[in-house]
Structure 1
Amino acid sequence: MKNFQTKLDVIGNNIANVNTFGFKKGRTTFNDLMSQTIAGATAPGANGGTNPKQVGLGSQIGTIDTVNTQGSLQTTGRPLDLGITGEGYFTVRDEATQSNYYTRAGNFYLDAKRNIVNGDGLKLQGATGGAITIPTTAQSLSIGQDGVVTYVNQQGTTTNAGRIQLRVFDNPEGLEKVGGNLFQSTGNSGAGTSVNVGTGGSGTLVSGALEMSNVDLSEEFTEMIVAQRGFQANTRIITTSDEILQELVNLKR
């Protein structure tokens, strides 16, 4: 029952984030617990061999996975909305803690100092390892599929403001979710490598679009029904065991 409750928690979180940009759904898997061996196996002799007799002792949570499939891209038409078609992650930096985080959510903004930041003010990192800044003289800006950020000034001159780099990991499913659409690296994900957009399997950028959650509502509701029925079946086992114990108690009467 506890395991099915955990599965329902994961499903509930998936459904809650169905409209979260760059969200990667979770998945719960089960393992069986150790089995009580009533009789071991015997090898064939004068008679044939026998198989072991074992009674299972229940199940346990095997894994809670992050499923890193590509989410669909939703067109917004906003130049600072960026979608990734590939396996790369944006790198954003928290200057207060000197920490880098990684995200698939590409809704970026300009702050008062004209730095490109995410919704929490973390700075998007460019190829030079620093923030990308758009001057106040810029009349318009654009971001190419290769991550190059350009702007047009008042004189009509196009200037390169920097290049976005993406982070790729040997094991992206090993990344740890820290909230706010952010991930951080772990010992099992590897530190990752910053590469130019379009290289190293990072994918390309689509300006004016955002990657949506990869949650499939029909699949989640199906899994919810299965988990609910599994929970109910396990409660029935407890009820049945209680009735059997009651019958044993009644034998004394």
Structure 2
Amino acid sequence: MIDTIFIGMSGLSSYSRGLKVISNNVTNLNTPGFKSSQLQFADLFYQGSQQGLGEGRLGHGVGTFGTNLNFKTGDIRSTGNGLDLAVDGQGFFVLKDEKDKLTYTKAGQFDFNTDGVLVSRNGGEKVMALSEGGRLDEIRLDGKRTNPPKASTKVTLSGNLNPSSTAYTMENVGVFDSAGQQHQLKLAFTKGTSSSPLDPVTWTVVATEGATTVASGSFKMKDSKPMAGADTIDLTFTPAGAAATTAVLALGADVRGDALGTTSTLTVSQKDGYASGSMIKQTFDAEGRLVLSYSNGQTDKPFQLALAHVSDISELVQEGSNQFTVKNQNALSYHVAGNGKDRVIGGSVEVSNVDLSQEFSDLILNQRGYQASSQMVSTANEMIQQLFDMKGRR
């Protein structure tokens, strides 16, 4: 009888642990990156004849031996925050705390702190990037908050330079010098005279900025096409306190010299150069690269997120705050997204993978098991009480 009470108590203890696991799963239903657990039950040791003779082998109840983590990917939910990230795949984000301890998480809720370092929004751990040589580095905005200017090197024209007209003017042709200062140029085209219709058509070009002449030169057209060696003009700028730069004004390959209508239709088809810009936005692309956007229309991708892969998920240990550690470092490797591996989804988070229907089903089973175990204890207690009563009547 006493053994029956201990067997029933093992059931009460085990199903209580099961209820605790289910409660933890359900209460983390809305925790980003949370992975649900399932308690593992096992029968306890047996005693008796190994040959199965006589009374046979009798069990001693039920016990538990840990939980299994469910690493099924949860739903991806859009947040609209460019620094919220989810991993579409088996990878984990890599975090490092102030004691240089590395942990791994699926909860990609990040932000830049006051020092310009990308950190976890929950615990402030630093988010790691994977650099050349497999080195883990911090993601910092130092030296990245502004984008330096770039001088224009080439301005390409397209359209028709009509030989039926004798002059053509282009207004507001923007060109940047080495200091990032934009110059709005006026290009005045004047057709030269030729002694023969077979001679090339020469166009003199004067580039001015306000009342200042920046450059002058000439283009030549033959057979309605720009002549090689006579299709460019150098525009030179010397800003105060900066190096002199030269931008090439060029007739593009699609420029024509056809007598269509009475005027020309030249326009700027391509140009480079830009002013300095300040950072206005930070996002991540599908390969986990930090994309810094600037007010001058430029972007920079200085870092790529490190992703951890664990070959044996049983080596993962829950640490709280949606983070894991790895028991066996040989099961751990680092990689980056892309190339058919994982994909990083920006502006989104992976929500909990808790299945409420499964949890409620398990809850009912645990409740019934607890009730049955309790009934066994009560029945054994009644039987013992009956024995005491029989002895008392003697």
TM-score by length of 2: 0.59
Q: State which of 56, 60, 65 in structure 2 corresponds to 1:57.
A: 60
1:84 aligns with 2:74: no
Aligned residue number for residue 33 of structure 2: 22
1:67 and 1:173 in contact (8 A); partners too: no
2:139 and 2:303 in contact (8 A); partners too: yes
Aligned residue number for residue 70 of structure 2: 67
CA distance 1:51–1:107, change in 2 (3 Å): farther
Cα shift readout 1:92-143 (whole Å, capped 9, x = no counterpart): 111x211111100011111112221111211110012111123333112221
Aligned residue number for residue 118 of structure 1: 120
Cα shift readout 1:127-162 (whole Å, capped 9, x = no counterpart): 121111233331122211111111122322111121
CA distance 1:114–1:227, change in 2 (3 Å): same
1:92 and 1:123 in contact (8 A); partners too: yes
Could you tell me which amino acid in structure 2 is paired with residue 246 of structure 1? Answer: Q
The offset of 1:39, in angstroms, is: 6.3
The offset of 1:199, in angstroms, is: 5.3
Tell me, what secondary structure is at the counterpart of 2:295?
Answer: coil
Aligned residue number for residue 4 of structure 1: 15
1:171 aligns with 2:173: no
1:93 aligns with 2:96: yes
Aligned length: 242
Could you tell me which amino acid in structure 1 is paired with residue 294 of structure 2? Answer: N
Moved more, 81-90 or 62-71: 62-71
1:220 aligns with 2:231: no
Whole-angstrom distance in 1 between the partners of 2:369 and 2:320: 30
Q: State which of 185, 195, 206 in structure 1 corresponds to 2:345.
A: 206
Whole-angstrom distance in 1 between the partners of 2:14 and 2:382: 24
Tell me, what secondary structure is at the counterpart of 2:374?
Answer: helix
Aligned residue number for residue 192 of structure 1: 332
| Structure 1 unmatched ranges of 5 or more | 42-49
Q: State which of 286, 308, 314 in structure 2 corresponds to 1:145.
A: 286
The offset of 1:223, in angstroms, is: 0.8
1:13 aligns with 2:42: no
Whole-angstrom distance in 2 between the partners of 1:234 and 1:190: 43
Q: State which of 122, 130, 139 in structure 1 corresponds to 2:137.
A: 130
Aligned residue number for residue 264 of structure 2: none
1:168 and 1:200 in contact (8 A); partners too: no
Q: State which of 370, 380, 383 in structure 2 corresponds to 1:244.
A: 383
Tell me, what secondary structure is at the counterpart of 1:167?
Answer: strand
1:133 and 1:161 in contact (8 A); partners too: no
Could you tell me which amino acid in structure 2 is paired with residue 9 of structure 1? Answer: K
1:34 and 1:57 in contact (8 A); partners too: yes
Whole-angstrom distance in 2 between the partners of 1:79 and 1:93: 21
Whole-angstrom distance in 2 between the partners of 1:69 and 1:152: 34
Aligned residue number for residue 161 of structure 1: 302
Decide which structure has greater strand share.
Answer: 2
1:105 aligns with 2:93: no
Whole-angstrom distance in 1 between the partners of 2:288 and 2:371: 51
CA distance 1:218–1:251, change in 2 (3 Å): same
Could you tell me which amino acid in structure 2 is paired with residue 82 of structure 1? Answer: L
Whole-angstrom distance in 1 between the partners of 2:15 and 2:311: 31
Could you tell me which amino acid in structure 1 is paired with residue 355 of structure 2? Answer: D
The offset of 1:52, in angstroms, is: 8.2
Whole-angstrom distance in 2 between the partners of 1:170 and 1:147: 21
Tell me, what secondary structure is at the counterpart of 2:25?
Answer: helix
Moved more, 220-229 or 136-145: 136-145
Tell me, what secondary structure is at the counterpart of 2:375?
Answer: helix
Whole-angstrom distance in 2 between the partners of 1:166 and 1:217: 29
Moved more, 17-26 or 154-163: 154-163
Aligned residue number for residue 223 of structure 2: none
Whole-angstrom distance in 2 between the partners of 1:20 and 1:70: 13
Whole-angstrom distance in 1 between the partners of 2:55 and 2:339: 54
Moved more, 22-31 or 53-62: 53-62
The offset of 1:66, in angstroms, is: 1.1
2:34 and 2:322 in contact (8 A); partners too: yes
Tell me, what secondary structure is at the counterpart of 1:147?
Answer: coil
2:87 and 2:345 in contact (8 A); partners too: yes
